Amino acid sequence: MTFVLNEDEQMLRDSARGFLAEASPVSALRKLRDAKDPVGFSKELWGQMAEMGWTGVLVEEAHGGVEMGYSAAGVILEEIGRTLTSSPYLSTAVMGATVLNLAGTDAQKDSWLPRIAAGECVFAFALDERARHNPEKIDARAVKDGNGFRLNGAKRYVVNAMGADMLVVAARTEDDKINLFLVDPKADGVERTARRTVDSHVPADIKFADVKLTGESLMAGAEDSEAAYRHLLDAGRACQAAELYGSALQAFDVTLDYLKGREQFGVSIATFQGLQHRAAHLYGELELTQSLVRRALTTLDTQPSQAPLWCAAAKAKATQVARLAAAEGIQMHGGVGMTDEYDIGLYYKRAQAAGEYLGDDAFGAGEVARLSGY
């Protein structure tokens, strides 16, 4: 089935929705924000996610995972998006497992996949170097040095970096090819600077100054390291799109509830055609987004060679629609939509941040044009 969830996925969705509503409602994000939490997510919640088996959905059983695939990862991220849960799920359970599966050596897989499945480590990805996502503009260099490498470069917007146990760094080797390296965030020469962002997350900028790496830190398990890098980005985009879609859906639901409860001119404002049409249009956009997100996830699971187009399209659409849903939500809430007390503004902020990550809608449109041959 391409679009309809199977029974396991439906159960997963129901349990995820119930659990997150209880353990990580929007107020949990407010708490992290107001306490100026140094890492920006709750390690306790991360442990609970592991107990539920969520961290192992992309890890094979031999390494302690449950191997349910991207479709299931998307189901969880959709629910994470609904409650604006800040967690290392995307960077670790999705991108961490993905990069190990694609490019990890046997030793790297044996060492890290079981820890990902058990929720015992947090991965962060040091990829982008510019203000906008641009996967080709990599200037970081890893130069051969004895049996190992010496790494130099500067990275932007490394999500979850302050709480990370392991960094995955994209750097060019002497053949000018982009390769991925596992780097200890506490190694000499690694300097992390926390950036508190508009969505109350804590990504970091990282400088790598003559960082000494062993030969085993190179992720040498892929035949073509750049193909693995691109596929990692595709998987990240589809799953980030799933989170954005979940956020958009919740922003829409919250707004519909508000419309039904608010009265002006002596009547429910939900009766106004001007607002009804905005809501109905948004509903259509959400339906379109759902289809693209599901299609991208199942394509990753079943026809990975077809994934680039669907992942780019899904990320672009989810970015545009999550922003629209929250922006329309603020407008339809009226004045209270501008207050910090109401949640709708938090959805608008998160849509912008998650939208930028791994490429916004303009970036995705460019990819779709390129992949379509025009």
Partner 1 sequence: MSLDTFRKDTRAWLEANCPESMRKPIRSEADICWGGKNWTFASADQKVWLDRMAEKGWTVPAWPTEYGGGGLSKDEAFVLKEELKAIGARSPLDSFGIWMLGPALLKYGTHEQKAEHLPPIARGEIRWCQGYSEPGAGSDLVSLRTKGVLDGDAYTVNGQKVWTSYADQSDWIFALVRTEADAPKYNGISFLLIDMEQPGVSTKPIKLISGKSPFCETFFDDAKALVRNRLGEAGQGWEIAKYLLSHERAGIVSEAAFGGLNPVTAAHQSGEVEEDGRLSDPVLRGDVARLTIDGLAFDATMRRVKEEADHGEGVGARASMLKYIGTELNKRRNELNMSALGYDGLLWEGDKESDGETARSWLRSRANSIEGGTSEIQLNIVAKRVLDLPSA
- Please identify, using beta-carbon distances, which residue of 192 and 295 lies nearer to partner 1: 295
Nearer to partner 1, 47 or 261 (CB): 261
Q: Please identify, using beta-carbon distances, which residue of 187 and 279 lies nearer to partner 1.
A: 279
Q: Which is nearer to partner 1, 167 or 241 (CB)?
A: 241
- Report in angstroms how near the CB of residue 334 gets to partner 1 at its nearest: 17
**Minimum gap (Å) between residue 289 Cβ and partner 1:** 7
The three-state (H, E, C) secondary structure of the chain, written as one string: CCCCCCHHHHHHHHHHHHHHHHHCCHHHHHHHHHCCCCCCCCHHHHHHHHHCCHHHCCCCHHHCCCCCCHHHHHHHHHHHHHCCCCCCHHHHHHHHHHHHHHHCCHHHHHHHHHHHHCCCCCEEEECCCCCCCCCCCCCCEEEEECCEEEEEEEEEEECCHHHCCEEEEEEECCCCCEEEEEECCCCCCEEEEECCCCCCCCCEEEEEEEEEECHHHECCCCCCHHHHHHHHHHHHHHHHHHHHHHHHHHHHHHHHHHHHHCEECCEEHHHCHHHHHHHHHHHHHHHHHHHHHHHHHHHHHHCHHHHHHHHHHHHHHHHHHHHHHHHHHHHHHHHHHHCCCCCHHHHHHHHHHHHHCCCCHHHHHHHHHHHCCC
Of 83, 82, 85, which Cα lies nearest the Cα of 42?
A: 85
Q: Are strands 267-268 and 123-126 parallel, antiparallel or unpaired?
A: unpaired
What minimum distance in Å lies between the beta carbon of 257 and partner 1?
Answer: 11
Rounded least distance, CB 284 to partner 1, Å = 5
Q: Which is nearer to partner 1, 144 or 277 (CB)?
A: 277
Give whichever of 215 and 366 is closer to partner 1, judged by the CB atom.
366
Rounded CA separation 320/329 (Å): 14
Q: Which is nearer to partner 1, 152 or 291 (CB)?
A: 291
Least separation in angstroms between residue 149's CB and partner 1 is 36
Residue 239 CB, nearest approach to partner 1 (Å):
17
Residue from 117, 124, 125, 127 nearest 46 by CA? 117
Distance of CA 118 to the CA centre of its chain: 20
Give the residue with the Cβ less far from partner 1, 295 or 323: 295
Smallest distance from the beta carbon of 312 to partner 1, in angstroms?
8
Instruction: In angstroms, give the least distance from the CB of 17 to partner 1.
Output: 19
Considering beta carbons, is residue 18 or 261 the nearer one to partner 1? 261
Question: What is the closest distance, in whole angstroms, from the C-beta atom of residue 293 to partner 1 in the complex?
Answer: 9
Contacts with partner 1 by CB under 8 A lie at: 1-4, 256, 259-260, 267-268, 270-273, 276-277, 279-281, 283-284, 287-292, 294-295, 309-310, 313, 316-317, 361-362, 364-366, 368-369, 372-374
